[in-house]
Structure 1
């Protein structure tokens, strides 16, 4: 089964609101306009049926490309021919007349008649023989008519290609459908538009959505922009999205994460005798886990929400501690051991945090009361303060390998910008013990380039239009959207490739 897609919530609510509504979906070729249109047939729960009118591809081609459509639309729902006209309940005044001033290329009264498809312009009016020249529109009207008073969704892909086929301006077709189906018959209509950027047609629909594909750090980035939705509040105007699995999935930046009750972490097993898990299955699959005796770097933008960083380190720490292994941690943002305990211990068995975790704090943060889990950083000699043999002494019952998880924003604030150059003893000790070192840096950190040179794997995490993305620099990977699933009671990372 393909992964489930997700249209932005505002668009679904817009179409499900009482009355008829129209939406223009525009963008260059390959941005997913057809996928977006067809997926609406699944996600509009209130709409009982959909009619897809395509001037570009056959029914068979659609079913081959979008296999999941067979479960939603029957071949009879993808019509392209005319029907014998019967008594109609749907409003069709504008279609029956199809006359009025031409919105483009207006002719004067003394102009020669200009041929437009199977119609003729006389002066500034258009005369059309109905039921013969417009079979696709007749079929759409009949589809809606049979289902009244229930609402239907009419998808026209694309409106400009249909206008070219008829020889009638797309603006005229939208005006006709808007008057008859949307306003008079209270139906929903989606117009797919081939062009991008601002167009004259944008003013004719009740809503406008644009889809675009661009590059981010040499990787594909897709952005869906809600330009307008008449009568609908838009809380998130821009969505990153993917077409992974043949579905359009827009990434919501305002999702609720935490359940009411935290649950104990379920350990993720080692990948091999030389590689342990990060506790993050998707990242394990990309990087091959954490190689023992080696360094991995995460470059995390300051724009990434602090919660994402906390959940990332929670997953790593919990996966080591839940297997009885030791952790030595320098928290980001000069964080404290008390905060880390509140963050991590609800997901661990009683006593496991104190037995297996040691937290380095700046000496100025130390309280008068000595805590067994705190190791002080005096600020003069980092190799001495972070001495690995001292960590081993402090964790006598912990299993190997240990995790050294260290944030360089804190280390630089305590020891200065050249701190990594003074940590050769720490790296050597971890390598000899075949433990694991994970470093967090920011893009503007003085340690970033040096740490990434030491690392066998480098991941970068950033925020784009409010969505958090991650990609591998070593090894090179495509761009992924990063989200968190808390349904199990603990943070589980989810990656979706932006393709």
Structure 2
């Protein structure tokens, strides 16, 4: 049964942490920046939202109405669900319930309700238009129905006709319309999708300055793509049992597209876009460390939860690094881990990853912890230096193996303070493998695993996906996660334990450098 849902929304925009101001309107930027610019265009335009079922097409369309409600008359035409189903599928719509009038009707009931609505509203609006005409001398504007009449040729199409009437009743104010879905309408009336879209484009978008969002179940390019002003595709697939969601921008007329694809989630039944490099824009605040009894906290509350409250003593966590991961993305993950161990008085014995620099690391971390504590509790092993005057750096580049071993032993004793305190062993295995070779590195890692598993220490290893010793490391790991980049955003997912994709985001409540993990659902 075809139904029409019309929102008359009069609520103030609901602000969250993710807001920007554009054209005088506070926008919750769950959508790509390019899409926001396109939707806020002064003139009417059309957007085609395409993709297979379950991609979030209805969700993003409803949120667009929610976001732009203060600017235009809002109309939502549904061919699939009524109000009860909408509220069940999108419970967040309940927040607007007191301030919207929701009309759902079949064909016959719709016609009856429309007659009643005309009696209540048409006289007022017609009077207003006559007053405006007298004041300005302009003829009242009407919605053209040239293409409508060509397509339907006198056949009854009350649901589509209602859209035209609603747009005209609100002239000269702009209307924003969602038609969900194109296939539902066209199959009912036996017309082609491209003909229907062209009809709406000419009559309502070009003729009445309305903005129209078409929802389509098609996943591939079709003739409708060439008619509308903008096209986005919502793709989702299953990657080894984990859902991956991608929004691709095909075109947005009049808008410069800086990034053509974004990852997103439907967490909590709402559409949320992940933006690249957001951590660079956040003001530095204060690190809030955490302490878990009898277990090591990572300093990332969501990661602790995924690991069952944290890392067990005597355990190994391995982080496999994807080929596109940047240094900033690496530090985004490891910064709160390092800080949390240091704040809890636990020393870090560190064999750095290739490309890391001791001074840069110190400058970064001492923004959040005093320099004295950092130098006391960090031992940075430098296999390229034979000597150093940096207090926390251990020069291990000498060919004198006995001297190197003595320096490494002293570094560990500095951290334990002869009191058998726990230590975090952070090992960049790419550096280790480069310096010592694959076979020797594997042997030393297995020896280290035996020692740590008989102690109260904990180890974090990093391994690049191209390293030959990767398959050996997973065997000694109690936890094994992968750090990858999806559309320029860092994500983790778990092998041990099995974890879905989670985006690494700056915690907006606690501020940088605290981070949170947002699942891709």
Give the TM-score band, short-chain normalised.
0.7 to 0.9
Instruction: Report deviation, 1:245.
Output: 1.0
SS in 2 for 1:213: strand
Alpha-carbon separation, structure 2, partners of 1:249 and 1:156: 21
1:252 aligns with 2:275: yes
Deviation per CA, 1:318-352: give whole Å up to 9, x if none.
10111222111111114232121012111103411
1:231 aligns with 2:282: no
Give the 5 Å matches for 1:223-372.
223-255=246-278, 257-260=280-283, 262-270=284-292, 272-273=293-294, 275-288=295-308, 289-362=310-383, 364-365=384-385, 369-372=388-391
Report the counterpart of residue 115 of structure 1 in structure 2: none
Residue 226 of structure 2: which of 196, 200, 203 is its match? Answer: 203
Report the counterpart of residue 108 of structure 1 in structure 2: none
| Cα pair distance change 1:69/1:264, threshold 3 Å | closer
| Cα pair distance change 1:140/1:79, threshold 3 Å | farther
TM-score by length of 2: 0.82
Deviation per CA, 1:293-333: give whole Å up to 9, x if none.
11110001120121011222221111011122211111111
Give the 5 Å matches for 1:435-450.
435-450=457-472
Report the counterpart of residue 145 of structure 1 in structure 2: 168
Report the counterpart of residue 93 of structure 1 in structure 2: 144
| Cα pair distance change 1:213/1:90, threshold 3 Å | farther
Asked if the contact 1:458–1:474 (Cα under 8 Å) also holds between the matched residues in 2, the reply is: yes
Asked if the contact 1:154–1:190 (Cα under 8 Å) also holds between the matched residues in 2, the reply is: yes
Alpha-carbon separation, structure 1, partners of 2:287 and 2:209: 51
Report the counterpart of residue 9 of structure 2 in structure 1: none
| Cα pair distance change 1:96/1:350, threshold 3 Å | closer
Asked if the contact 1:378–1:385 (Cα under 8 Å) also holds between the matched residues in 2, the reply is: no
* Runs of 5+ consecutive residues of structure 2 not aligned to the other structure: 1-13, 18-27, 130-139
Give the 5 Å matches for 1:361-400.
361-362=382-383, 364-365=384-385, 369-378=388-397, 385=405, 389-395=409-415, 397=417, 400=421
Greater shift, 196-205 or 420-429, is seen at 420-429
* Runs of 5+ consecutive residues of structure 1 not aligned to the other structure: 101-118, 120-126
Asked if the contact 1:211–1:225 (Cα under 8 Å) also holds between the matched residues in 2, the reply is: yes
Give the 5 Å matches for 1:5-154.
6-44=30-68, 47-72=71-96, 74-76=100-102, 81-82=110-111, 83-84=114-115, 91-94=142-145, 98-99=149-150, 127-129=153-155, 133-154=156-177
TM-score by length of 1: 0.86
SS in 2 for 1:236: coil
1:460 aligns with 2:518: no
| Cα pair distance change 1:27/1:344, threshold 3 Å | same
| Cα pair distance change 1:383/1:143, threshold 3 Å | farther
- RMSD, aligned α-carbons: 2.8
Asked if the contact 1:333–1:410 (Cα under 8 Å) also holds between the matched residues in 2, the reply is: yes
| Cα pair distance change 1:134/1:90, threshold 3 Å | farther
Paired residues, number:
466
Report the counterpart of residue 221 of structure 1 in structure 2: 244
Report the counterpart of residue 111 of structure 1 in structure 2: none
Alpha-carbon separation, structure 2, partners of 1:185 and 1:348: 60
| Cα pair distance change 1:36/1:326, threshold 3 Å | same
Instruction: Report deviation, 1:478.
Output: 1.6
SS in 1 for 2:278: coil
Instruction: Report deviation, 1:391.
Output: 3.0
Asked if the contact 1:457–1:474 (Cα under 8 Å) also holds between the matched residues in 2, the reply is: yes
Alpha-carbon separation, structure 1, partners of 2:508 and 2:195: 50
SS in 2 for 1:184: helix
1:483 aligns with 2:509: no
Deviation per CA, 1:391-448: give whole Å up to 9, x if none.
3322355983211111111111211122131244433333333111000110111232
SS in 2 for 1:324: coil
1:182 aligns with 2:201: no
Asked if the contact 1:90–1:144 (Cα under 8 Å) also holds between the matched residues in 2, the reply is: no
Asked if the contact 2:144–2:203 (Cα under 8 Å) also holds between the matched residues in 1, the reply is: yes
Instruction: Report deviation, 1:17.
Output: 1.4
Report the counterpart of residue 24 of structure 2 in structure 1: none
From the two aligned structures, give the one with the greater helix fraction.
Answer: 2
